[in-house]
Structure 1
Amino acid sequence: MDQQLRVFISVVEKQSFSRAAEELHMTQPAVSQYIRTFEGNLGMKLLDRTNKYVRLNKAGEIVYHHAKEIVGLYARMENLLMDLTNKVSGVLSIGSSYTFGEYVLPHVIANMKKSYPEVHPSVTIENTEKIAELVKGHQIDIGIIEGNIKEDSQLEKEDFLEDRMVIVASFNNSLTQNKGTIDLGELERQTWILREEGSGTREAGEKIFQRLGIRPTNLMVFSSTQSIKEAVIAGLGVSLLSEIAVQKELLHNNMKIIEVEGLPYTRNFSIITASPYQTKALQELIRMLKEYGLKRG
């Protein structure tokens, strides 16, 4: 059954029997047989398929959601059993929101690999809302998020690092030329380049608007911090970003912080987990994240 689940998941995510076969190092007929057997065991079709596409039907959506959770739990069980050897090893699935995941997490993982080469991390970068959903569904071992999430008894949340949020613009923006007090009306009229709903950075932006008493109407939405930085540098508008994310750009004078009374705005990066059973690898990652937070604090 475990292999049937893995084949089914691969076909769904690759949207193709042939691409799934390639990923799993199997023949396409073997993949097709696994799916037929799986559907036969469940007594219903899970996939709508033609020569052009493979798609989940309603039954398939239910099975896919639970299959991901089952495979995640099975992998965690294997890792916990491996821990009985007292070695820090095994697969470690990490989810992170964009700011921490793109600018800090790679360095933490590099340090971990130096100390524990037998740990094999896999990383998923998504917005805060999605990472919380994956942790709750046991599809990843740990989430590192920015901002708040809805209270949930299934999730353990612990703050470990304070983050400063600043308003940034290109050097050609009129606000960066102003050496006096910033006119909030002019700030409100700017094009604001923001992340999508569900992002911790977007949540911080909305709170800043409330704090400053402004309601910008000219908004542009990008799905990654890197694309927002490029848009700001290109002169498309202003944004609210983590100081962690813009250190290089500030150093090389590609953008400038707009000093506004009441800023910078601070928020926390947090660790979230869902399982009371933690592998040694996960425990060590959490220790290293907290250590990083203490050094930055």
Structure 2
Amino acid sequence: MAAIGQIVEKTPTGDGLARARQRASLIPDCMVEAKRIANTVISGWHGRRKRGIGENFWQFRPYADGESLAAIDWRRSARDDQLYIRDREWEAAHTVWLWADFSPSMMFKSKLGTVSKESRALVLMLALAEILARSGERIGCPGILEPIAARNAAERLATALMHAEENAAFLSGLPQTGMIRGASDIVLIGDFLDDADRIMDSITPLSRRGLHGHVIEIADPAEELFPYAGRTEFTDPETGEKLVSGRAETIGDDYRRAYLARREALGQGLRRLGWSFTHHLTDHLASEALASVHMHLSGVPQNTHQNAHRGGGL
């Protein structure tokens, strides 16, 4: 998404079909990268699985004095001299919804960024799907994929994204969430260039409905640093509005203040709702943002400054 008046380097947008094809062409490589970084992050994390009342077997564990004898699994215990309890997995109807903004501003990539914001969003979205699927979670994507619990959920999400048309599910500032029922987490990935108050006006009702949210703001380094000088033409990729500066360096300080103030206001607003906020630059490793978000999903307390990356992030 891009706010009117937001300074963004000129980027071709193309028509809807071309955009859908371009995004689809990115997905196979992004899926490979997503699996790679998921493997670096997933070690030692088991999602929300825990011992409790349920029907699914979780694990055998040694019997402890004082526990009910009725809980002993005598067949397993007969294999050696140790008594074992048959734990069952705690069950709760829970879904994690994943959404990424694929509007034109996400196509931006400067010489300072290693990938486009769209490519990084796809990688993070699919990597989260991979980790959540391995952890037994149910995942969905608003308007694209109904919630599923399957080991190949990431691949199924990738396939759904490849065949999705350029529609409101991608072009709207935030996803439609009318289909979300019950306790759920939602992960929103995008550049969030709109005014912070406008974004919070859309997110606050989600929080009131009981959704626990996690926002990943993806930025190109040039969007923070504003490394422009001399005569430069800027174009808003979503409105087509242009700004020509004869001496771009003279507006750099004002731009950076406005840009960082928007991020600070957004982060503060999200924290007041109890949502997490992760700022990520495309010249950083995708695993940094992935690790931060999956820690929040795991319920692991974090110092708010652990989410900060270079460039004045939160």
TM over 0.5: no
TM-score by length of 2: 0.28
TM-score by length of 1: 0.30
